[in-house]
Amino acid sequence: MLSLSIAFVIPLFFHKFLDVALFYLLVTGVTGIVLAVVFQLAHCVEEAEFPLPQENTLRMENAWDIHQVETTVDFARKSWLVSWLLGGLNFQIEHHLFPRICHVHYPALSKIVEETCREFGLRYHAHKTLLAGVLSHFRWLRRMGLSSAP
């Protein structure tokens, strides 16, 4: 009820219904596209793994934390602008491993997580830029579109 009041009731006191409806559609549309792009760059790229459960037990081979590192990729970690605009969601590995820690700590955490992964022989994947993540996503889409893709 509060959400509907903030989105519709209060604005309707000051603006026409058509303006409120169009603005709501615009804002929710942009938000949806941004979230979709973030999730695609973090999970649907060449470097992300897609492990299947073991056939007999339907259990995953690796522990939860290893699974998070293997199936997630960071991007644009050094871009303060991307981090600010996305609220730290470009640090997806850290977001998955430490969901209750404030995103302002993700840059420092990412160095520790990357070092720990190296220490334990895990691959830590991070695209240097947003564009590198987008290009990896498109290469992954292309590979998935080929008939010989697994």
Longest dimension (CA), the chain: 62
**Residue 76 backbone zone (phi > 0: left; psi -120 to 50: alpha; other: beta):** left
Q: Could you tell me if 42 and 73 are in contact, meaning their C-beta atoms sit under 8 angstroms apart?
A: yes
pLDDT > 90: what percent of the chain? 78
85-106 tens-digit pLDDT: 999 999 999 999 999 999 999 9
pLDDT (0 to 100) of residue 17: 92
Q: Which residues are registered as beta bridge partners of 74? A: 126
CA-closest candidate to residue 109, choices 119, 121, 99:
99
Residue 113 CB neighbours (<10 A): 22
**Strands annotated E in 19-140:** 74-75, 126-127
Global pTM reads 0.81
95-137 tens-digit pLDDT: 999 999 999 999 999 999 999 999 999 999 999 999 999 999 9
